[in-house]
């Protein structure tokens, strides 16, 4: 457990610091030297993801009885932060696998589903995906049109999901898909676990994206895809809950990714500002430059504290919807600012694809969009404040 009281400083425990150091060392030695090439070639580095699984990164927050380390949500945030400090593609591969694929199985799965899907996920043996977004709508889950009808004792799924992470690479084992199910004259959402390889489940080729080039994002087509009753995850007609409950935890993951990316950008900018001279002195001596760096350092620390606070509340079993939304909203906007200032401080070199600077700039923008756009998060916070329905 992390140590935090309402008015004290936040400090990581010895175990959390040891985990952070392990992941930092791995990220610096095994990821940093290759991240530029993976970005350029849009390569999904399955071997490195597998090695991270062997290190325990996928199971940090899951209970030991389900293959995890039982180390809690703060430790998980620290892992994602350290990965994003070096490579956001790897960070989102881990973050999405844990929070939007593993967590729904932990929260809503039967014992059999946990053994089959969660245990290997937590041990890093396979990846899971969660598919809610459709070409016709992401923020508005009510716009979902994918359907599942009963036929011969099976569920038959038809529809298309857009922008889905971790669904079609060599480690992908299953996707949780939300679909409209006819019940009592209505059609509420239900969630189903669809194994990769199921007839009629067709992951398309990866998108070409602005950033996160080394992560796996695809459109998924369900074409008369048949799954048995045991595929239903959570109660029939409660798919919105299966989707929305883990989303709060997912937002802590994106907040942690944002803190890590911003930290990496700040470190790059600081090193360059000390080394680059203009008008006879390092540019860091110019107030215009060192004020930027001082502002970023302050904002990153604030984002980190918001993130750890939300994670500590989750870990303590307390409500954290508003705190997770606030952490993600603030941290993602800090990340975009840090990536932009990093590029600005690098001047023309920042615009050339020979360093990590442009990669960080391209990777930052999705952080204000995925798992709740900044606009939707303001709405979530306002609703928690009692300002709107």
Which residue's CB is nearer to ligand FAD, number 231 or number 273? Answer: 231
Task: Report in angstroms the alpha-carbon separations of 185 from 78, 178, 181, 239.
Answer: 46, 19, 10, 17
371 as an active site residue: the answer is yes
Q: Let me know how many helices (H) and strands (E) the chain has, helices first.
A: 13, 10
Which residue's CB is nearer to ligand FAD, number 171 or number 284? Answer: 171
Position of minimal CB gap to ligand FAD: 138
Please pick, from the candidates 108, 192, 201, 212, the single residue that binds ligand FAD as defined by CB under 6 A.
212
Encoded one letter per residue, x for contact with ligand FAD by CB under 6 A and - for no contact, window 162-191 reads -xxx--------------------------
Residue 167 backbone phi and psi in degrees, to 5: -95, -25
Please pick, from the candidates 340, 369, 383, 384, the single residue that binds ligand FAD as defined by CB under 6 A.
369
Does 217 bind ligand FAD (CB under 6 A)? Our answer is yes
Give one DSSP letter per residue of 274-289, joined into a string: HH-EETTEEGGGSHHH
Please pick, from the candidates 274, 373, 381, 383, the single residue that binds ligand FAD as defined by CB under 6 A.
373
Residue 110 backbone phi and psi in degrees, to 5: -75, 165
Which residue's CB is nearer to ligand FAD, number 129 or number 232? Answer: 129
Please pick, from the candidates 35, 87, 370, 380, the single residue that binds ligand FAD as defined by CB under 6 A.
370
Residues 66-95 that bind ligand FAD (CB under 6 A): none
Residues 91-150 that bind ligand FAD (CB under 6 A): 96, 129-133, 137-140
- Find the angle CA(370)-CA(371)-CA(372) to the nearest 5 degrees: 90
- Least Å distance, CB 62 to ligand FAD, is 19
Closest CA to 95 of 370, 289, 306, 339: 370
- Least Å distance, CB 327 to ligand FAD, is 17
Q: Active site residue: 82, 323, 333, 371, which one? A: 371
- Least Å distance, CB 71 to ligand FAD, is 24
What is the 3 state secondary structure string of 213-260? CCCCEEEEEEEEEEECHHHEECCCCCHHHHHHHHHHHHHHHHHHHHHH
- Least Å distance, CB 237 to ligand FAD, is 19
Whether 75 contacts 138, CB under 8 Å: no
Does 360 bind ligand FAD (CB under 6 A)? Our answer is no
Helix, strand, or coil here: 110?
coil
- Least Å distance, CB 61 to ligand FAD, is 18
382 C-beta neighbours (distance < 10 Å), count: 13
Please pick, from the candidates 50, 209, 274, 276, the single residue that binds ligand FAD as defined by CB under 6 A.
209
Which residue's CB is nearer to ligand FAD, number 296 or number 380? Answer: 380
Catalytic residue list: 371
Residues that bind ligand FAD (CB under 6 A): 96, 129-133, 137-140, 163-165, 209, 212, 217, 366, 369-371, 373, 375-376
């Amino acid at each position: 457990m992390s140590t935090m009281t309402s008015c004290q400083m936040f400090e990581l425990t010895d175990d959390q610091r040891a985990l952070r150091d392990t992941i930092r060392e791995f990220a610096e030695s095994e990821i940093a030297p290759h991240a530029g090439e993976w970005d350029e070639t849009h390569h999904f580095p399955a071997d490195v993801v597998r090695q991270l699984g062997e290190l325990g990164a996928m199971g940090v927050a899951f209970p030991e009885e389900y293959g995890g380390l039982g180390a809690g949500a703060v430790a998980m945030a620290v892992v994602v932060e350290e990965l994003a400090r070096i490579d956001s593609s790897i960070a989102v591969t881990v973050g999405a696998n844990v929070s939007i694929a593993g967590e729904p199985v932990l929260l809503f799965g039967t014992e059999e589903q946990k053994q089959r899907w969660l245990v290997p996920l937590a041990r890093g043996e396979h990846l899971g995906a969660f598919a809610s977004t459709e070409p016709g709508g992401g923020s508005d889950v009510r716009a979902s049109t994918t359907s599942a009808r009963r036929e011969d004792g099976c569920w038959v799924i038809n529809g298309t999901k857009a922008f889905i992470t971790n669904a079609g690479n060599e480690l992908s084992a299953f996707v949780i898909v939300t679909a409209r199910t006819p019940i009592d004259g209505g059609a509420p959402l239900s969630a189903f676990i669809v194994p990769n390889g199921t007839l009629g489940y067709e992951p398309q080729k990866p998108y070409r994206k602005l950033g996160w080039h080394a992560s796996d994002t695809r459109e998924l087509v369900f074409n008369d895809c048949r799954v048995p009753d045991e595929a239903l995850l959570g109660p029939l007609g409660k798919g919105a809950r299966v989707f929305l409950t883990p989303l709060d935890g997912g937002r802590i993951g994106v907040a942690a990714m944002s803190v890590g990316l911003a930290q990496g950008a700040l470190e790059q900018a600081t090193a360059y500002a000390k080394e680059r001279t203009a008008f006879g002195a390092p540019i860091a001596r110019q107030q215009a430059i060192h004020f930027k760096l001082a502002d970023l350092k302050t904002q990153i620390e604030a984002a980190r504290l918001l993130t750890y606070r939300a994670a500590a509340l989750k870990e303590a079993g307390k409500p954290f919807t508003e705190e997770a939304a606030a952490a993600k909203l603030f941290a993602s906007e800090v990340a975009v600012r840090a990536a932009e200032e990093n590029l600005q401080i690098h001047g023309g070199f920042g615009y050339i694809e020979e360093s990590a600077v442009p990669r960080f700039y391209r990777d930052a923008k999705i952080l204000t969009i995925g798992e709740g756009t900044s606009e939707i998060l303001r709405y979530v916070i306002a609703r928690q404040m009692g300002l709107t329905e």
